[in-house]
Amino acid sequence: MKKYLFIIVILTVSILIFSEINIVCTTSILGDMIKNIGKEKVQLSILMGPGIDPHLYKASARDTKKIAKADLVIYGGLHLEGKMTEIFDKLEKLGINSLGVGDKLHEEDLITVDDMGTHDPHIWFSPTLWEECVLITAKKMSEVDPENKDFYLNNAEEYILKIREMDNEIESKISSIPLEKRVLITAHDAFNYFGREYGIEVKGLQGISTASEIAVSDLIDLAGFIIENKIPAIFIENSIPQRNIDALIASIEANDYSVKLGGELYADSLGDENTPEETYIGAFLHNVNTIYNAFSQE
């Protein structure tokens, strides 16, 4: 009898030690944050891999099965994953814990992009806001898995320190670029928080969502701005086809002005596995170095 009791105790302790909470998240950017907070305590499924555009992503039948089995579903919020809104709206009714990270931020800290009160969802490009998102996420994970509350909160604090180190490095590099040269032209309006944070004027060919149509007038206007202000470089993004930028370049060259591609930036998605850009910090630093190098070659 004692032998059986001993086995039961060992099994119970093993379950408590090695049990994981099952989290499903949408983007690779969120996934990297959750890995830093949860580490070995989390079984994580990331729906959107490298190079996937969250604005256009539609959940598959396999995705919905993963979501149904999750202990916690974490998504960007602020309509980042616009085609998954209906799924997110049903989670509470289904009894599934969920967190729209951006929806928990203070409205006054967000960038409003139209008269309808739409907010820019690309909040990770503000390290200050992303620190808040880390804490929001860690607290939610602690609610779902209170046994590991201290573990999650301590990891979150450690991760925030790394983000602050990154922020200091970026601030130093950007401050060395003359103000008149700080104009960033990208495929879509993903970098407004980045621009606000570091004093850079940002213009995108598309709006905050890649689901929006590009009007010919918008293309012509942006081409005119680039020519008038003698912008030397524009940037493509890893999650958006290059054809729109190619059309912009063609419009510019038709007016006898030459502009170069400054490089590829990570906007809505991180890089491939086993590269420095597979992490939030690695991708962010890649972007800054790419922008800095393009501006420095002027």
pLDDT band at 1, cuts 50/70/90? low
Over residues 81-103, mean pLDDT: 95
Residues 24, 236, 75, CA angle at the centre, nearest 5°?
15
For the whole model, what pTM was predicted?
A: 0.91
Instruction: For the chain, report the end-to-end CA distance as a whole number of angstroms.
Output: 80
pLDDT of res. 13: 41
The sign of the torsion formed by the CA atoms of 121, 122, 123, 126 equals negative
Closest CA to 20 of 157, 134, 151: 151
Q: Which residue reads 């931020």 in tokens?
A: 105
Residues 86, 91, 95, CA angle at the centre, nearest 5°?
160
Q: Are 45 and 38 in contact (CB under 8 A)?
A: no
Query: pLDDT tens for residues 232-279?
Result: 999 999 988 898 899 999 999 999 999 999 999 999 999 999 999 999
Domain 170-296 adopts which CATH fold? Rossmann fold (3.40.50)
**Segments of the chain assigned E as strands:** 21-25, 42-46, 72-75, 98-100, 183-188, 201-206, 233-237, 260-265
For 77, list phi and psi in degrees, rounded to 5: 80, -175
- The domains of the chain are located at 2-166, 170-296
Name 280's Cβ contacts closer than 8 Å, sequence gap at least 6: 29, 32, 33, 124, 130, 270
* Number of alpha helices (DSSP H) and beta strands (DSSP E) in the chain: 10, 8
Query: pLDDT tens for residues 42-64?
Result: 999 999 999 999 999 999 999 99
Query: pLDDT tens for residues 29-39?
Result: 999 999 999 99
Asked whether the domain spanning 170-296 has the same topology as the one spanning 2-166, the reply is yes
**What percent of the chain is helix, strand and coil (3-state, nearest 5)?**
55, 15, 30
Query: pLDDT tens for residues 188-232?
Result: 899 999 999 999 999 998 878 887 777 888 889 999 999 999 999
Q: Are 30 and 134 in contact (CB under 8 A)?
A: no
pLDDT band at 298, cuts 50/70/90? low
Q: Are 50 and 165 in contact (CB under 8 A)?
A: no
Query: pLDDT tens for residues 138-187?
Result: 999 999 999 999 999 999 999 999 999 999 999 999 999 998 889 999 98
Is CATH 3.40.50.1980 the classification given to domain 2-166? yes
Reduced to 3 states (helix: H, G, I; strand: E, B; else coil), residue 270 is: coil
